[in-house]
Amino acid sequence: MYTMVWHDKKWKDKRPLGAIRKTSGTELPSKDEFMPVVIDTYKTRSIASRRPEAPYNEIIQAWYAPMSADTRAAYSKDLELWARSMKASLEKLAALCIESPQDAYKTAILRRAGEISQDQKLATSTRLRKLASLRSWVDHMADYRADSYIPKIKRPKFRAGFKAKVQVRGEYVTRDLERVIGELQSLDTAKARRDLAMVLLMFDSGLRVGSVVSLRLSDIKADSVSVKMKMRGGARESRPISDRARAALQRWIEVRGDGGTWVFIPMKGKRSEFPQLTTRGAWKVINQLGLDHPHKLRHAAATKLADETGDVFLVRDFLGHSDVSTSSGYVDRSEENARRGTDILSRKKRR
């Protein structure tokens, strides 16, 4: 188990939360309220570097500005929940984070981090995202505080079994996916054609659901082995697609109808207007097929690729990760890979 500790240059050591409570003079929440979260505190920003004063709503909008639409939606919901728990508006929450004394601010951040980490109703990935949004918000507010106080919330570390569970789920989805693909191929309805194209893009190309629903008709060229996709961050880049995914796309476009911008549209409502299928709508499509959620298709593809190749760099390029450490969780250490490495290094060079 990890213990929540408080780092402070005042005494330059690490002590359990209870020990620090006795000497710091700061009233902190009980240790039982927290899961393993580590917080560092330090003062690095000079007061001269502070941004000029601005209305609180403008400060909040400045926080949202660099985010993608999906990130903005998730982070704004996290911020609203925090404000609601304090019975305050977003503007009052911003005022608290900027104008409150350092001890009160420290307590508020610690308490919120503890609430997120201790909430067993949330999935681990959700708690990590909520902590990420809190880190982002606190760092943004430091630009406006008079004392340049910056608490840094570290990402909790989890036991090795966490990533192993992701791989087990991926293997399960891979087995179940063949049944889903077979059923969709046996049907010849417009909905089945659309759903099959979406599933194959998410599995064969490892695409995120946001990239799939953002696919435009102009991004697809006849007889092309790749399509332009909107990636995380908003940039559009070319990604390869499989032969069966390209064939499924063409079959769907044949019955989709002419008009509109987006490749994937809802099957109900005013189809003549060709509205974009939303991310929530794509989730419902995957749920109706008997799969938990769209991102598991991406995980399943990465797991299968890692099992068959053991090449973490191939997995990184396939998923589009910027850091190979993000992809390493899909590749297991195995005696077979170790033996193969030994054989390669011990092989004599032919003359």
DSSP 247-297: HHHHHHHHHH-S-SSBS---SSS-GGG-PPPPHHHHHHHHHHTT-S-THHH
pLDDT reported for residue 167: 40
Residues 102 and 25: their CA atoms lie apart, in Å, by 12
100 Cβ neighbours under 8 A, 6+ residues apart: 108
The CA–CA distances, whole Å, from 242 to 197, 200, 205, 258 equal 11, 8, 7, 24
Cβ atoms 204, 297 nearer than 8 A: no
**Cα-flanking dihedrals φ and ψ of residue 26, to 5°?**
-105, 130
Residues 114 and 297: their CA atoms lie apart, in Å, by 32
Residues 25 and 29: their CA atoms lie apart, in Å, by 13
Burial class (CB in 10 A: 0-12, 13-18, 19+), 234: exposed
Characterize 237-266 residue by residue with b for buried, 16 or more Cβ atoms within 10 angstroms of its Cβ, and e for exposed: eebebeeebbebbebbbeebeeebebbbbb
Q: What is the pTM of this model?
A: 0.53
Per-residue pLDDT of the chain (351 residues; tens, 9 = 90+): 223 333 333 333 343 333 333 333 333 333 333 344 444 444 444 444 556 667 888 888 888 888 888 788 889 899 888 888 878 888 888 888 888 888 888 888 888 888 888 787 887 778 888 888 888 888 888 778 776 666 666 666 544 433 333 344 444 455 677 788 888 888 889 999 999 999 999 888 888 888 889 888 888 876 667 777 777 666 777 888 888 999 999 999 999 888 888 899 988 766 667 788 888 888 888 888 877 778 888 888 887 887 777 778 888 888 877 777 777 766 665 566 677 777 777 776 555
Go through the domains of the chain in sequence order and give each one's CATH number: 5-153 (no CATH), 162-335 (1.10.443.10)
Residues 46 and 52: their CA atoms lie apart, in Å, by 13
